[in-house]
Chain A
């Protein structure tokens, strides 16, 4: 891929106003699929979690999962949307091998939820209101595997394989209105928005929300418009591109920044932006052109004749509203107070997009401070090194178990970092890694005393110095003992014991 010209970011923002829009797909964690009673589970053996409906077999018919409708209404309410008194499904017609019926059952002119907003927090603590146009229900497609060619990508593949286990998994698509005013914070706003949606669906308990698994997917629309002098009317909106395949919070931020720089360079060079789909490549940090979007895209939407309108009662809506978790901003204020974090500490958490992880880690038993320390410290460091989201590395439950092991004295911080590494490498739970790698602290004083006596005997000069009151000389003995214990000893306890034995 040739490296396209990029304009320095600051200059791009000086010349152009970025205009944004997002489509976020949330996979719901219902037990069954949107329109069939197959399990909503798509790992495992291909084409086993399917019924005739999911394979689009001739004669099969969809039936709506009531739980998915309730989840969609809850999400709509959490986004501050109005719930449609009557909404209906529509068919979106297009051919693609992962789409079993060659139409997707979605919603078009009557979505379940419309007109809302979400408050998100920018890195400097400023609140920004993202307007929501609609949230609608639809079904996911199957999974394609491209075989042959160099990279497993679609280009150059010899053939493709289709697994329909994911076909029919319930989705809610959240579509924002046009977002103006993000200015230079556009990349950070994008990340904060997706992170907030993630916090909301996790708090609602309606999605596993793992971006790396595709539970939460973001398509980012972006266009630039030239700035005009004060007093002049604003310029017309620029042509937009839609960036897909943005599968981490980190990528959302990077992709937006990249597109702003790329589009600005084209416009500045007198070129025009092509309205198209662009694919984000995590490895190269670039986007590449997909199929151009044009009027030829004709989805021929029409009301789904196999399904009936959804007309939620006011009672149902009120019951669901009463069950909503608090709004993100209020929740953040409460958590900050509950946890006793400083402004700086809390902002660090929010900006890292790890609020959900820390909440879940504390729910599993850890203290908020320990959770914060691990997630924004060691885990974030490794994630950064690997270019992935911290949340994709390790589960909050395992982090909480790790913290418990440290707090009980089973692990030192240094050992705990090794255990974390083992967990990330897939060696099992922290307990299993401790056992597997033999990493537990030696807390048996007998074993320590034996090692200390041996070290003292080997270094009689040191023993003499300690006895003379030169306590700092003990360091050499402690070092030898820790080395003999392969680091699996609590250094403070070793020091205590060395002084005890020396004076014995």
Chain B
């Protein structure tokens, strides 16, 4: 649907913070889901699952992934991917200022704020 013009993948290690393995590898073949993996995914998704939930979800995901993995049967390299159901392109907005929220509106749903900013607990992780 669109012309693919990827940057050179080979020359990236020193500068690019992001790279994705070209295909499934490393962590095991698709379909094999362990409770350790579910715990890792829950961490990425910021959900503090209980051990019981992890056990239950692991079983459910194994079953679901077994089923949905059938997409790989027909997804041959010659088939392009579709991201949008109706192809559009160049949908832009003019660079004109519109209406903003008031500070009161912006903070209206906040669990905690100091009158002008949202307040959160201490952050120990580093900025990305």
Q: Do chains A and B touch in the complex (CB under 8 A)?
A: yes
Q: Mark B83-126, 1 if CB is under 8 A from A, else 0.
A: 11000111111111111111100110100001011111111111
- Among listed B13-21, B57-65, B66-74, interface-contacting one: B13-21
Annotate A176-213 by CB proximity to B: 1 below 8 A, 0 otherwise. 11110000000000000000000000000000000000
A32 touches B117 (CB 8 A): no
Cβ-defined contact, A161 with B96, below 8 A: no
Determine the chain B residues whose CB is within 8 A of the CB of A4 once the complex forms.
Answer: none
Closest to A316 in B: B90
> Which 10 pairs of residues, A with B, have the shortest CB-CB distance?
A21-B15, A37-B98, A66-B92, A67-B95, A161-B117, A86-B2, A178-B14, A290-B126, A291-B126, A21-B14
A300, CB-defined interface residue at 8 Å: yes
B75 at the interface (CB under 8 A from A): no
- Interface flags for A123-157 (1: CB within 8 Å of B; 0: not) read 00000000001100000000011101000001001
User: Is the C-beta of B79 less than 8 angstroms from some C-beta in chain A?
Assistant: no
Docked-complex contact A160 and B98, CB < 8 angstroms: no
Question: Measured between alpha carbons, how far is A293 from B128 in the docked complex, in Å?
Answer: 10
Interface residues of B (CB under 8 A from A): 2-8, 11-18, 20, 40, 44, 46, 83-84, 88-103, 106-107, 109, 114, 116-128
- Expressed in whole angstroms, the minimum distance between the Cβ of A287 and any Cβ of chain B is 13
| Segment among A43-51, A246-254, A337-345, A455-463 that sits at the interface with chain B | A43-51
Instruction: Kindly list chain B residues whose C-beta atoms are within 8 Å of the C-beta of A20.
Output: 14
Asked whether B89 lies within 8 Å of A309 as measured between CB atoms, the reply is yes
A123 to chain B, nearest CB (A): 24
B15–A32 touching, CB < 8 Å: no
The residue on A at minimum CB distance from B12 is: A133
Residues from chain B with Cβ under 8 Å of A65 in the complex:
92-93, 95
A-B contact count (CB 8 A): 202
Partner of B14 from A57, A87, A114, A237 at Cβ < 8 Å: A237
Residue A30 at the chain B interface, CB threshold 8 Å? yes
A-side interface mostly: loop
**Chain A residues near B16 (CB-CB < 8 A):** 133, 175
Contact residues in A for B109 (Cβ distance below 8 Å): 57
Are the CB atoms of B101 and A110 closer together than 8 Å?
no
Q: Are A161 and B93 in contact (CB under 8 A)?
A: no
Q: Within the complex, which residue of A88, A96, A154, A159 is in contact with B2, where a contact is CB–CB below 8 Å?
A: A88
- Decide if B6 touches A96 in the complex (CB within 8 Å): no
Is the C-beta of A115 less than 8 angstroms from some C-beta in chain B?
yes
Q: How far is the CB of A63 from chain B (nearest CB, A)?
A: 4
Does any Cβ of B come within 8 Å of A303's Cβ? yes
Residues of chain A from 289 to 312 with CB closer than 8 A to chain B in the complex: 290-291, 293, 296-301, 303, 305, 307-312
Q: Is the CB of A162 within 8 A of B117?
A: yes
Q: Are A303's CB and B83's CB within 8 A?
A: yes
CB of A177 within 8 A of CB of B11, answer: yes
Q: A308-B90, A311-B2 are in contact. List 11 more A-B contacts (CB 8 A).
A: A20-B14, A66-B92, A86-B3, A110-B6, A133-B12, A159-B120, A164-B106, A164-B118, A178-B13, A305-B83, A308-B89
The yes or no answer to A42 lying at the interface (CB within 8 A) is no
Q: From B83, B100, B123, give the contact of A38 (CB < 8 A).
A: B100
Question: Once the chains are docked, how many angstroms separate the CA of A488 from the CA of B97?
Answer: 49
**Chain B min CB distance to A289 (Å):** 9
CA distance A88 to B3 in the complex (A): 10
- Asked whether B125 lies within 8 Å of A308 as measured between CB atoms, the reply is no
In the complex, A277→B14 CA distance in Å? 13
Chain B residue with the shortest CB-CB distance to A20: B14
